[in-house]
Chain A
């Protein structure tokens, strides 16, 4: 069996937002690899930076946001290119084509004045993948693939004539119309009923299995992660604090934040006496805490945590943690000297 190859590499990403209240240091040095064909879950609570990270990949950060530093390498046709260094035209060819997005609210992703068929076909035509005739036919096929009943009829519908679940399927069709290498799904099922969510999950899994698309799933829903993700990256206040495969994250979480997060998610199949909330609140990223940004809420905070940001350690193959608890003695001594 061949070793999975990386398709996306994020290195040392820093993103700031220049607001009237001050500079929000939203992304604080993020390193992340995405492997081809996997479902990578990016999980965290509000303000952790998961959405900003995903948008930074194709430079969808509007002012007052600015990508300060970092590199994002994407493997296109066997070659590595730095997305942050591409000029706008080149980047536009990749966005919606090689890398596609699905967002939370399907209603705002769809133009109410055009039929669904038109919108699906448009993505293909704009990227020169097909002419209008072929694109229209392909649109029907794509809708059929997303298991929408009577796709020939649905193609002629306007978005407001469809239910929430169907709209989300249309959005998925649009995203998949150009056979993207990477599909970034940002909270795709948050606004949707549980039964529709289940259908969409099954759909995405099926499509992924068939087409081998890499999916980056961004959510705060641990249940969704358990269902879909192969690997999980946990984010807190602009940092990735832990990366591991999904089984490990749930069974042997290492970072105190990951542990805290899992302890406060109600598992309906277990008898829980009490949920364990994480004490404290999410930090203000204009004046973020020094050192490890989690230290004010961490039950194991040490002196070094308040001074320096912990290094990333690979404590088991594929299992990365950024925490002073897992740094070696020498590393700690080195850090304390400075």
Chain B
């Protein structure tokens, strides 16, 4: 067993956009992302809309085929997996999606939804009913929910079912894409707590994708900030909040409304200019250049690489190189 359960190496995903006739533009959703996740760790990925974080989540699990680059799972390249090996990967790596309302088949009972995975993988289960009940109880639901249909449950409960479904296959790695964004605060709190407990109990490794920095901080050990297809900073969760290094991370943290009027009203922030560039034809140089308060000539000419500037801390910025 390797130390790093998941490794992404210069992962890229470009989506072709047809112009007219033969001409194509490419939306560079993920444009060269490299990182490693240790076993048992939770890596948070934060970014705004258009950052490519959702595409990254799906590409890591090979739900979308990457355009180039590689993903290593437990030391092996998942791009080479076929047949049995691929099935095994799908069992060991699962995903929980954002929208609980559409990720559960409305025509299947909870029992069927949760058993679908194990059945497809021919997992031997002695007593299917007991198996599912145990899972439901793990996520805080009850035996009586077994034969009901998704529409009979609330948003929070549906998300629990989705998580139970992911757990049914006994995975090692779970990608969580905005799992609580559609939920109320109090429901969100209980789902997050549950996810944390499950992680501890089953030794799970998480990739937690969200636009909500506060939630990401609560869940993650390390956090990566993503901007228009690339990671701009990866650091320990506490450190990145106390001392953000990349100007984009600084802006994100400045913009974050904090539920504490004393702090949030005392702080002054710099005016944020501009909007993210189009991910189709990015100008050369650093992609954050037009909005960066510290832009220097070199930032326009050459794109900074993501390099380690301190122990366990990577930043892609010419301020530090």
Contact = CB atoms under 8 A, between A and B. Distances in A.
B48 A194 contact: yes
Given A194-B213, A195-B272, A277-B187, A262 B154 contact: no
B130 interface: no
B275 A165 contact: yes
Interface of A: 45-46, 163-165, 193-195, 197-199, 201-202, 220-227, 246-247, 250, 260-262, 264-269, 271-272, 274-278, 281-282
A269 B260 contact: yes
Nearest to A47: B184
Given A223-B214, A264-B188, A278-B189, 7 more contacts: A197-B257, A225-B259, A227-B264, A247-B261, A261-B185, A266-B217, A268-B213
A201 B188 CA distance: 24
Contacts, number: 119
Contact of A46 (B184, B217, B253, B271): B184
Q: How large is the interface on B (under 10, 10 to 19, 20 to 34, 35 or more residues)?
A: 35 or more
A250 B259 contact: yes
B134 interface: no
Contacts of A224: 257
B70 to A, nearest CB: 31
Contacts of B263: 269
Contact of A45 (B184, B269, B271): B184
Contact of B185 (A164, A220, A268, A281): A220
B238 interface: yes
B86 interface: no
Given A194-B252, A272-B218, A281-B154, A226 B259 contact: yes
Contacts of B303: none
A221 B184 CA distance: 10
Contacts of A225: 259
A261 B186 CA distance: 7
19 contacts: A45-B185, A164-B49, A198-B269, A226-B261, A226-B264, A246-B261, A250-B262, A260-B186, A264-B188, A264-B190, A266-B215, A268-B213, A268-B214, A268-B217, A268-B258, A277-B186, A277-B189, A281-B156, A281-B187
B68 interface: no
Contacts of A261: 185-186
Q: Which of B156, B190, B259, B263 has the most CB of A within 10 A?
A: B259
Nearest to A223: B257
A274 B272 contact: no
B129 to A, nearest CB: 26
B252 A195 contact: yes
B272 A199 contact: yes
A269 B184 CA distance: 21
Kindly list the 4 A-B residue pairs having the minimum CB-CB distance in the complex, ordered from nearest.
A223-B257, A198-B255, A264-B189, A277-B190
Nearest to A46: B184
Interface in B281-315: none
Interface string B264-282: 1100010110010000000
B186 A247 contact: no
Contact of A264 (B185, B196, B251): B185
Contacts of A264: 185-186, 188-190
